[in-house]
Structure 1
Amino acid sequence: MNILALDLGTSSVRGLVLDADTRPLPGALARRKIDLAIGDDGTGTLSGPDYLASLVDCLDELADAGHLHDVNLVAVSAQWHSVLPLDHAGAPLGPVITWLDTRPGPVGGTSGPADPDGFHQRTGCWWHRSYWSMRLPWLREQSGPIARFVGLPEYVLGELLDSAPMSVSQASGTGLLDLSTLRWDEEALTLAGARPQELPPLGELDWHGRLRAERARRWPQLAHARWSPPVGDGGASNVGSGCVDPSRAAVTVGTSAAVRLMQRIPAGEPMPQLPERLWRYRVDHDHVVTGAAYASGGNLFAWANRELRLPQGAELDAALALVPAGGGRPADPRFGGDRPPGLAPAGTGRLGGLSFSTTSVDILAGLMQGLCELVAEDLVVLESTIDKPVGVVLGGGAVAASTWWRQAFAAALAPRPVSHQRNPEIGATGAALVALGRFGDAVDLADIGRTDELVLPTTTGRSHPQYPS
Structure 2
Amino acid sequence: MSFSTTIDEAVGPLVLALDVGSTGTRGGLYDARGLPVKGARLKILHSFTTAGDGTSTMDADQVTDEIRACIDHCATQFDAPIAGVALDTFAASLVGVDAEHRAITPTFTYADSRCAPQVSYLRATLDEDETQQHTGTRQHTSYLPPRFLWLKENHADAFGRARRWLSLGEYAWLRIIGTTAAGTSTAAWTGMLNRHTCTWDEPLAATVGVPIEKLSPVAHPSQPLRPAIDIAQTWPTLADAMWFAPVSDGHTQSFGAGATDSSRLVLSAATSGALRRVITGAVDDLPRGLWCYRLDEERSILGGAINDVGRAMTWLENTFQLPEPEVVIDYLNGDPHTDTPLVLPWFTGERSTGWIGDARAVLSGVSAATTPLELYRGTVEGIALAYQRMLTELLLVEGRPAEIVGTGRVTLDHPGLLQMIADATGAPVTPVTIKRSTLHGTALHALDVLAPHVERADVTRAETLRPHPERRGYYRRRVERFRVLYDKVYAR
TM-score, with length taken from structure 2: 0.83
- 1:424 counterpart residue number: 435
Distance in 2 separating the partners of 1:93 and 1:218: 27
Distance in 1 separating the partners of 2:465 and 2:353: 33
Matching of residue 234 in structure 1 with residue 242 in structure 2: no
Q: 1:364 to 1:188 in 2, by over 3 A?
A: same
1:86 corresponds to which of 85, 97, 110: 97
2:317 corresponds to which of 298, 301, 305: 305
Q: 1:315 to 1:24 in 2, by over 3 A?
A: farther
- Deviation larger for 293-302 or 225-234: 225-234
Distance in 2 separating the partners of 1:421 and 1:76: 22
Q: 1:67 to 1:349 in 2, by over 3 A?
A: farther
User: What SS does the aligned partner of 1:411 have?
Assistant: helix
Distance in 1 separating the partners of 2:457 and 2:342: 39
2:46 corresponds to which of 21, 34, 41: 34
Distance in 1 separating the partners of 2:452 and 2:351: 28
Structural mapping, 1:33-182, within 5 Å: 33-63=45-75, 66=77, 69-104=80-115, 105-106=117-118, 114-143=126-155, 144=157, 145=160, 146-182=162-198
1:61-80 deviation line (CA, Å, top 9, x unaligned): 3346x157442222222221
- 1:251–1:257 Cα contact (<8 Å) kept: yes
- 2:477 counterpart residue number: none
- 1:210–1:224 Cα contact (<8 Å) kept: no
Q: 1:409 to 1:329 in 2, by over 3 A?
A: same
- 1:403–1:452 Cα contact (<8 Å) kept: no
Q: 1:233 to 1:398 in 2, by over 3 A?
A: same
Q: 1:343 to 1:125 in 2, by over 3 A?
A: closer
User: What SS does the aligned partner of 1:410 have?
Assistant: helix
- 1:364 counterpart residue number: 376
Letter of the 2:458 counterpart: L
- 1:410–1:451 Cα contact (<8 Å) kept: no
1:294 corresponds to which of 306, 309, 334: 306
1:258 corresponds to which of 274, 280, 298: 274
User: What SS does the aligned partner of 1:281 have?
Assistant: strand
Matching of residue 445 in structure 1 with residue 458 in structure 2: yes
2:419 corresponds to which of 391, 398, 407: 407
Matching of residue 392 in structure 1 with residue 404 in structure 2: yes
1:313 to partner: Cα distance: 4.9
- 1:169–1:283 Cα contact (<8 Å) kept: yes
Distance in 1 separating the partners of 2:326 and 2:233: 46
1:93 to partner: Cα distance: 1.6
Identity across matched positions, percent: 27
- 1:239–1:442 Cα contact (<8 Å) kept: no
1:189 corresponds to which of 205, 210, 221: 205
Gaps of 5+ in 1: 454-469
Higher helix share: 2
Letter of the 1:399 counterpart: T
- 1:128–1:340 Cα contact (<8 Å) kept: no
Letter of the 2:417 counterpart: W
Distance in 2 separating the partners of 1:231 and 1:92: 20
Q: 1:399 to 1:328 in 2, by over 3 A?
A: farther
2:32 corresponds to which of 5, 20, 45: 20
1:109 to partner: Cα distance: 6.6
- 1:17–1:68 Cα contact (<8 Å) kept: no
Distance in 2 separating the partners of 1:141 and 1:63: 44
Letter of the 2:260 counterpart: V
1:433 corresponds to which of 420, 444, 450: 444
- Deviation larger for 22-31 or 326-335: 326-335
1:374-401 deviation line (CA, Å, top 9, x unaligned): 1111111111112446531111111022
Distance in 2 separating the partners of 1:25 and 1:205: 23
- 1:3–1:17 Cα contact (<8 Å) kept: yes
- 1:328–1:364 Cα contact (<8 Å) kept: no
TM-score, with length taken from structure 1: 0.87
Letter of the 2:200 counterpart: W
User: What SS does the aligned partner of 1:53 have?
Assistant: helix
Distance in 1 separating the partners of 2:104 and 2:25: 22
Distance in 2 separating the partners of 1:18 and 1:80: 23
1:264-289 deviation line (CA, Å, top 9, x unaligned): 21xxxx64321111111122222111
1:351 to partner: Cα distance: 2.3
- 1:124–1:175 Cα contact (<8 Å) kept: yes
Gaps of 5+ in 2: 1-11, 467-492
